Amino acid sequence: MKKHIAVLPGDGIGEEVMTEALKVLACIAGRFEHQFVTTHGYVGGAAYERFGTHLPEETLSLCRSADAILFGSVGGLVSEQHLDKWRNCEANSILTLRKTFNFGANFRPVKIYPDLKEMSPLKAEIIDRGVDLLIIRELLGDSYFGEHKTFYQDERRIATDVIMYTEDQVAAVAHVAFKAAGGRRQKVTSVDKANVLDSSKLWRAVVHEVGRNYPEIKLEDMLVDNCAMQLIKDPSQFDVIVTTNMFGDILSDAAAVLPGSLGLLSSASINAEGFGLYEPPGGSAQDIAGTGKANPIAQILSTAQMLRFSFALEQEARAIEQSVETTLKAGYRTHDIYNPKQSAATKLVDCQQMSQQILAHLEAVQIAEPVA
């Protein structure tokens, strides 16, 4: 298979973790006989310095001509957000890409690795039940795109934000969720606030209509307030969670703390044609940029998601995930997941050494023979 990939490392740790992810991609290309043509583009502060804009036309046209976008992260130090280079950097880069390519669904897998359970804020007995879930967040509707208004009435300020969903928007993301559950543990939890909101009543009705096309998938509804509690109390009950833009924004960030570090998570934003942007959900981590402390796993797992969701290369994606798990099992830890109390059983490594270990396991992964 030959694919063109737009590579946008961005700012902070973006460049260093992307370098490691591209080594993993090159290894996959070699082992599975694919050709991945990678072309770098500027985004975020790095683009601002060169072009005076966070998302130059050159970068957009590179993305338009690619089969997928591999994105690092953008943004400056929190204390420097007032500078022109960083002001609105994230919105100008990521939200513009989302709108330009109509990314309608965001995938956030959340998994607690048994070998890292001491990093999770959850109790061991909860983790031991197994935590491996996928949150799918609708990205093009809800109050983010409805009318926002602040006005005066009787000399008092009033603000309104309109939540709006069309049945087509809900149906599109529901299909994505049922298909994703088909390749997992066959269960979808649809999260809404149907006891209060009309938009949620429509959401629930449409998800059930779509669900009739997938009789093998178990569908359950859950109110968002309950889901927030269940994610902490009993996350093992979930396989695929599908929810609205705002509920997904909040729930996916809550779930992101369960594995114990942002450096372990991946994220994918995908449109109806399967074109996607793959990135770690964390930011540019300027506090550790250039120190070698960045964990490359988030960027490497995002690359695995690109292979799975945009190129349908399931075996290749699994090979990467398996190599990450084996590396963690062998005790290799970057700074963010290192626990000095376990120093006898683990080894502190930097960003590059972590990916070297992952690559060594990837070189040894067994490749299944194609079924005749």
- Enzyme catalytic residues: 144, 193, 225, 249, 253
Q: Minimal CA–CA distance to 354: which of 306, 287, 301, 305?
A: 301
C-beta of 180 vs 337, nearer to ligand NAD: 337
**Tokens, residue 327:** 């590396």
SS3 15: helix
* Shortest distance in whole angstroms from residue 355 CB to ligand NAD: 12
Segment interacting with ligand NAD, rule: CB under 6 A, options 50-58, 61-69, 195-203, 290-298: 290-298
Among 295, 303, 327, 346, binds ligand NAD (CB under 6 A): 295
- From residue 42, give the alpha-carbon distance in Å to each of 59, 173, 278, 295, 333: 6, 30, 16, 22, 30
Residues in binding contact with ligand NAD, number by CB under 6 A: 24
Say whether residue 106 binds ligand NAD (CB under 6 A): no
Tokens at residue 28, please? 């996959």
| Non-local CB neighbours of 245 within 8 Å, separated by 6+ positions | 137, 138, 139, 140, 141, 142, 143, 144, 145
- Contact call for residue 92 and ligand NAD (CB under 6 A): no
Is residue 76 at the binding interface for ligand NAD, with CB under 6 A as the rule?
A: yes
Candidate list 176, 262, 319, 359; residue touching ligand NAD; CB under 6 A: 262
> Which residues, 6+ apart, have CB-to-CB distance to 335 below 8 Å?
288, 293, 295, 348, 350
Phi/psi of residue 301, nearest 5 degrees: -70, -30
Among 294, 304, 328, 349, which residue interacts with ligand NAD (rule: CB under 6 A)? Answer: 294
**Contact call for residue 303 and ligand NAD (CB under 6 A):** no
Would you count residue 260 as binding ligand NAD (CB under 6 A)? no
Under the binding rule (CB under 6 A), the answer on residue 90 touching ligand NAD is: yes
259 is a site residue for ligand NAD (CB under 6 A):
no
Q: Extract the tokens encoding 244.
A: 């609205």
Confirm if 241 and 135 have CB atoms less than 8 A apart: yes
The C-alpha angle with vertex 51 and arms to 45 and 55, in degrees rounded to 5, equals 60
User: Contact, 271 vs 101, CB < 8 A?
Assistant: yes
What separation in angstroms does the CA of 7 have from each of 302, 304, 337? 12, 14, 27
The residue among 175 and 333 lying less far from ligand NAD, judged by its C-beta, is: 333
| Choices 61-69, 118-126, 183-191, 284-292; region in contact with ligand NAD by CB under 6 A | 284-292
Site track for ligand NAD across 320-359, x = CB under 6 A: ----------------x-----------------------
Q: Report if residue 211 touches ligand NAD, rule: CB under 6 A.
A: no
Binds ligand NAD (CB under 6 A): choice among 286, 302, 303, 357 = 286
Q: How many CB atoms lie within 10 A of CB 154?
A: 5
CA angle 304, 86, 350 (to 5 degrees): 45
Report if residue 94 touches ligand NAD, rule: CB under 6 A.
Answer: yes
The answer to whether 298 contacts ligand NAD (rule: CB under 6 A) is yes
Tokens 């959850």 locate to 122
CA–CA distance, 346 with 337 (Å, rounded to integer): 10
Compare residues 31 and 87 and give the one whose CB is closer to ligand NAD: 87
For residue 16, state whether it binds ligand NAD (rule: CB under 6 A).
no
When binding is defined by CB under 6 A, the residue of 5, 46, 62, 74 that contacts ligand NAD is 74
What DSSP designation does 138 have? E
Tell me if 284 contacts ligand NAD by CB under 6 A. yes
**Smaller CB distance to ligand NAD: residue 44 or 211?**
44
Distance CA 59, CA 50 (A): 12
Residue among 134 and 285 whose Cβ is closer to ligand NAD: 285
Site residues, ligand NAD (CB under 6 A): 13, 17, 73-76, 78, 90, 94, 262-263, 279-280, 282-288, 294-295, 298, 336
